[in-house]
Amino acid sequence: DGGITQSPKYLFRKEGQNVTLSCEQNLNHDAMYWYRQDPGQGLRLIYYSQIVNDFQKGDIAEGYSVSREKKESFPLTVTSAQKNPTAFYLCASQRTGGIYEQYFGPGTRLTVT
Amino acid sequence: ILNVEQSPQSLHVQEGDSTNFTCSFPSSNFYALHWYRWETAKSPEALFVMTLNGDEKKKGRISATLNTKEGYSYLYIKGSQPEDSATYLCAFIGKGQAGTALIFGKGTTLSVSS
């Protein structure tokens, strides 16, 4: 079955630690995205990548980093510089072009204490 | 900063009621509008991608219309069922942004009681 996987589903970290969230897709999509959701907020874009070895900052990139070494994978690192890292993180992929729908993973809920 | 507004924020209806909600977006520079349904404990799933002014799309009991000149889209659910309970998200993409990320509204959360 084609789809997007994110792991883990729940993640707990101590303040000051970096943490990496995994996102893998086997849909052969060029574009991949990371969003963050907070209570009462819409999905806010962190980073996106249109092609391997290239990515762009979204609206709230500060304190996050990404890599895109393979088409299938787009890991997100939440660094200790992110002031409010506790949130729900969603990964998505899409065929390139705004007329195509995005496919979402199940999400990772990160709690930092 | 482009803004996408959805209203109402939430609503509660009885089984069998029909309902509708609104997505407002910038009318200039329109390229496409997406609707997604996000059920609790699941991933958001695409309902519609709309590109043409006057477009109307339908999937079962759910339909959507698009007015790009005035910058709004309506999502209609006919004869709501408990399984329609979800958050409905709309997302806008402007010309020149195609191939970049969607701008999401905050969603409308629908609760349907049996």
Q: Is the pLDDT of residue A55 over 70?
A: yes
Task: Say whether B99 and A98 touch across the interface (CB within 8 A).
Answer: yes
Confidence at residue A100, expressed as pLDDT on a 0 to 100 scale: 86
Confidence at residue A1, expressed as pLDDT on a 0 to 100 scale: 61
Q: Is the pLDDT of residue A81 over 80?
A: yes
Question: What's the DSSP call for residue A84?
Answer: -
Question: What's the DSSP call for residue A83?
Answer: S
Cα distance between residue B88 and residue B110, in whole Å? 8
Per-residue pLDDT, averaged over A33-43, amounts to: 91
Cα distance between residue B85 and residue B41, in whole Å? 12
HSE, side-chain direction, 13 A CA sphere, residue A80: 5
Confidence at residue A34, expressed as pLDDT on a 0 to 100 scale: 97
Q: Looking at CA atoms only, how far is residue B15 from chain A in angstroms?
A: 26
Task: Say whether B101 and A41 touch across the interface (CB within 8 A).
Answer: no
Cα distance between residue A103 and residue A97, in whole Å? 13
Q: Choose the closest CB to B98 out of A33, A44, A98.
A: A98
Cα distance between residue A36 and residue A91, in whole Å? 9
C-alpha to C-alpha distances, B56 to A10, A64, B18, B63, B113, nearest whole angstrom:
39, 39, 17, 7, 28
Residues of B in contact with A41 (CB under 8 A): 106
Confidence at residue B29, expressed as pLDDT on a 0 to 100 scale: 83
Confidence at residue B41, expressed as pLDDT on a 0 to 100 scale: 87
pLDDT band, residue A75 (cuts 50/70/90):
very high
Task: Say whether B106 and A40 touch across the interface (CB within 8 A).
Answer: yes
pLDDT band, residue A58 (cuts 50/70/90):
very high
Per-residue pLDDT, averaged over A16-26, amounts to: 95
Q: List the single range of A1-15, A52-66, B89-103 with lowest mean pLDDT.
A: B89-103
Question: Dihedral angle at the C-alpha atoms of B75, B81, B87, B91, nearest 10 degrees?
Answer: -30
Closest CA to B49 of B106, B112, B98: B98
Q: What is the pLDDT along chain B (114 residues), one digit of tens a residue?
A: 678 999 999 999 999 999 999 999 998 889 999 999 999 889 999 999 999 999 999 999 999 999 999 999 999 999 999 999 999 999 999 887 655 678 999 999 999 999
Contacts of A70 (CB under 8 A, 6+ apart): A52
pLDDT band, residue A99 (cuts 50/70/90):
confident
Confidence at residue B1, expressed as pLDDT on a 0 to 100 scale: 61
Confidence at residue A54, expressed as pLDDT on a 0 to 100 scale: 94
With contact defined as beta carbons under 8 Å apart, do A79 and A17 qualify?
no
Task: Say whether A50 and B107 touch across the interface (CB within 8 A).
Answer: no
Q: Choose the closest CB to A96 out of B51, B93, B99.
A: B99
Confidence at residue A96, expressed as pLDDT on a 0 to 100 scale: 80
